[in-house]
A and B are shown apart, each in its own frame.
Chain A
Amino acid sequence: MKKYQQGDVLFVEVPEGKWDFKQDGNKEVMIPSKNKDQPYQSYGHKRESQSTKDVDVITVAHGEATGHTHSFRMSQQTPGVAITAYGGTKTRVGDVPEFIKITGSPAVIKHEEHNALTIPVGHYRVGIVREFDHIAGRTRYVVD
């Protein structure tokens, strides 16, 4: 399992065979593979996709104070790259995907305050690093 990190955003490789991808009308859906361990079953059994065919930008994390974003901009990718986002987590400043699948060629994700990060072809779970607030005594996801 490999991990890629840009600032507070993590891309953790999902092992092959854990999910199947099926076409459901115009959208591709992500379904846990049968007869195998399902470590991600808590995320649900079906995830709809947000295809790059429909949008130019896929944002995986929004900045609250800065307005900066961790985003894949399709117009800046090398030809042949396709990125599909699955699922959606609601945040105060916008929805972000739970998984992404990169096909064709490695994709580049950019952020205003971090160097660009190249992520190889594969299937990844998107995560945000967390921190502990000692004054409140609670855990929360890092926001910038």
Chain B
Amino acid sequence: MSIHIDNRNNLDKRDKLRDLIINGKIGDSLSLYAGYGYKHLVFHCIKMGKKTANVYGYDRGWYNRIDHKIPVMKITKDHFTFLSGNFSHIRIIDQNAPNIASSIIGNWSYTFRGFLSMGIIPYAGLRYLRNGTLINFSDIEVATFYPMKVSWDGNLLSRIPKKVKDYTEKCYKDDRDIKNRAARSNYGNTRVVRLIKEAKETNNWNKVKPVDTFSLTNVTKRTELIRHFGMETILESVPNMRIDEDEIDGRKYELLRFSFPAGNSRPLDTDTIPATYLKMINPSTGETCVEGVPNNANNTWSDDITMNTVKAALAWRDADLDDVYLEPVALT
């Protein structure tokens, strides 16, 4: 297999690739290095038929892998066909996907990222929305899927499957939910901090409610409210149940599960969301404090509830190895 030697340096990558497909001989090849941010990726384009070329994706540090024989793209004079999002040695990144087959939709896609970074396909770009990668063309944005045919003009030629449309909508919705939740948390914290400040200045605490304790992100300010209202009053303000209690080295801990109003939070089809908190006592001051722990230590985005013991909550809180709580030799 000969190597395509190109002496026409004035041609850009797009023209070189087009020239290979239209004018090259079968077996000719062209290496294209990805653009800024993906310079570790290289695409070897090899003319396979009269008007077609296969594209093989490589990470420049992993050349000797046999599974690089699988093309990631096919190119004709009319269109590009993206066959795979990831070079086989790069782990597919999609935490929400239960298995690899479904993770192909909306995955990180080194092929798209690397190839589009070279500017060969006009008017096409990528956008990452926390749990999915969307590819955008001049008139449409859709989650990455395979195989995907794209014209040399940058138009999507493939029909968009329903599950891809659904996944795209899910990406938008999840992204919106995450932003809203973060905004709501920030707003709640700012509001309560302001109310506490006003209450201290006027000595009128009517505007501050016990439930506001859970809106505060700063532990000291939270403890301040607990000191003002009393822990029992705060616990009475939100429905809750004690899941577990434990005494470790003379220190008492309780694991509580609250039912917060769902508002716009996930999941939307329920009125309340469970929220697990660890109640403990500062051994130095004797003050009670509460700190949130996830309902599921292994996957904080999961709706499954597996956090059921004080020790599991403490292990998560301290990021202990293997989720096993390592008791401190000394704690003050």
B residues apposed to A, CB below 8 Å: 178, 181-182, 184-186, 188, 214-215, 217-221, 258, 260, 265-266, 273, 275-276, 282-285, 291-294, 300-301, 316-319, 326-332
> What are 12 A-to-B residue pairs whose CB atoms are below 8 Å?
A5-B328, A7-B284, A7-B332, A8-B219, A113-B285, A114-B282, A114-B332, A117-B332, A131-B293, A133-B217, A137-B178, A143-B217
- Inter-chain CB contacts under 8 Å: number: 108
Q: Are B328 and A135 in contact (CB under 8 A)?
A: no
Q: How far is the CB of B314 from chain A (nearest CB, A)?
A: 9
Q: Are B317 and A131 in contact (CB under 8 A)?
A: yes
Q: How far is the CB of B210 from chain A (nearest CB, A)?
A: 16
Kindly identify which residue among A10, A131, A138 contacts B291, using a CB–CB cutoff of 8 Å.
Answer: A131
Kindly identify which residue among B283, B293, B300, B330 contacts A4, using a CB–CB cutoff of 8 Å.
Answer: B330
The number of residues on chain A lying at the interface, defined by a beta carbon within 8 Å of a beta carbon of chain B, is: 36
Kindly identify which residue among B181, B217, B285, B326 contacts A140, using a CB–CB cutoff of 8 Å.
Answer: B217
Contacts of B186 in A (CB 8 A): 136
Contacts of A12 in B (CB 8 A): 326
Q: Assuming A4-B330, A114-B282, A134-B292, is B181 touching A64 (CB within 8 A)?
A: no
A residues apposed to B, CB below 8 Å: 1-8, 10, 12, 63-66, 113-118, 127, 129-140, 142-144
Chain B: CB-nearest residue to A134: B275
Kindly identify which residue among B188, B273, B319, B332 contacts A116, using a CB–CB cutoff of 8 Å.
Answer: B332
Q: Are B326 and A139 in contact (CB under 8 A)?
A: no
Q: Are A137 and B265 in contact (CB under 8 A)?
A: yes
Q: Are B184 and A144 in contact (CB under 8 A)?
A: no
